[in-house]
Structures are given as C-alpha cells and as structure tokens.
Chains A and B, each alone.
Chain A
Amino acid sequence: GQNIDQPTEMTATEGAIVQINCTYQTSGFNGLFWYQQHAGEAPTFLSYNVLDGLEEKGRFSSFLSRSKGYSYLLLKELQMKDSASYLCAVRDSNYQLIWGAGTKLIIKP
C-alpha cells in the first residue's frame, strides 16, 4: 500500500527553527509537495521537490532524498502566524497526490 508518515504534532518557540519530517512509500514518485493549512481554511501551496536536495523560499526550505523516501520542511525565524498544519503529499506513478495526515505546529511566545 501507499503510505505517508508525518509527526502528528510539534511545538516550537517564536523566533526559533523547526524541522517537520515526512517519510513516504508510494507506487512511483513524481514529486513531493508541502502545503500549509490554517485551522478552518484551505490548504495552500508552499513548496515542490522533484530532485534530491534543498529548495529554499524565504523563511521556508524543503529537502528531498528520493533514495531514502524522505523529505523535511524547515521553517526559520518562526512567527506566531506559522501556527498551522503542514501537509506532505507525494505524486505517485498515476500522477495522483497521496497525502499525509498533516503535522500540527504550535508556536509558543
């Protein structure tokens, strides 16, 4: 079967750095996505990785290792508005997105 694993919940302090991990086992791989979802709102696109390595976009970076079936999302200089769920999704061989259950990130002052 296909599986995406993420921690259920993480807590971090305002101004700090946090790394959210995602491991996957899917039938084929055609890219990995990270989305942010604030409570009661729609998911919004953050980043996309299809090749190994680090993609940086402002305070957010995403890393991919295809051989290890592993990705992480790195958030720097945390702000209270970063409190949200972070969803990892893998595009499989049929080009369908397989979604993890999401990681709820709680930011404390």
Chain B
Amino acid sequence: IAGITQAPTSQILAAGRRMTLRCTQDMRHNAMYWYRQDLGLGLRLIHYSNTAGTTGKGEVPDGYSVSRANTDDFPLTLASAVPSQTSVYFCASSDAGGADTQYFGPGTRLTVL
C-alpha cells in the first residue's frame, strides 16, 4: 500500500441500509478526515480525527459516525442511508493535526436510492 486507500470504489445502496466506507493510510499520519464532494459545492468536512482514539465533528456530521481505533484506519459509517447522502466521499490524512498538508484517497462514489 502506498498512501491512502478507500473501499469500495463505488456502491449503490438502498435507502435505510447501513454502510461502512473504509479508509486506510500507510504514511503514519496522525490526522485523518472524511469529506463529501457534491456538484457545485466545495468539499465539506464530515468528521475528523487528530490522533488515534479521538474524533470530532465537522461541518456536516449528521447521519454519519466514525471511529479511530488505530493510526491507520478511519472507517465512516452511515447508520441508515438516505438519498441526500448520495455523493463522492474522500478520505484524507495529514501529518500533524490541522497544521500540515492534507493528502487524499481516491474516493468512493456512493448512490443511495
């Protein structure tokens, strides 16, 4: 693995289903982030983690949850998906909390029907 990986690449999901998007980094970065990107809007922060064992809410956290059990993994869970959660989801990481450049994974394209 080099950098950040995300899985799945894309997914079509029925409304009401539970879904976990996976994110793994091998750069030993302290901080990790989840964003959603929608057409015509900037990237919006969903949740973040400044270090393993801690998480925080971003701009649009409702309907999403995260955990950070170790440095490398930062899964994002949709407990009960709704159509408004149709989006492209990017995971990112940085070396020192908010003080460093963020590097992005390839993204997950999620469609909720």
Contacts and interface: CB of A to CB of B under 8 A. Distances in A.
Interface of A: 4, 30, 33, 41-45, 48, 87, 89, 91, 94-102
Contacts of A44: 104
Contacts of B99: 95
Contacts of B44: 99
Interface residues of B, number: 19
Contacts of A99: 42-44
Given A94-B98, A96-B58, A97-B102, A43 B41 contact: no
Contacts of A96: 45, 48, 58, 98
B98 A43 contact: no
Interface in B67-113: 90, 97-99, 101-107
A41 B106 contact: yes
A83 B13 CA distance: 32
B98 A102 contact: no
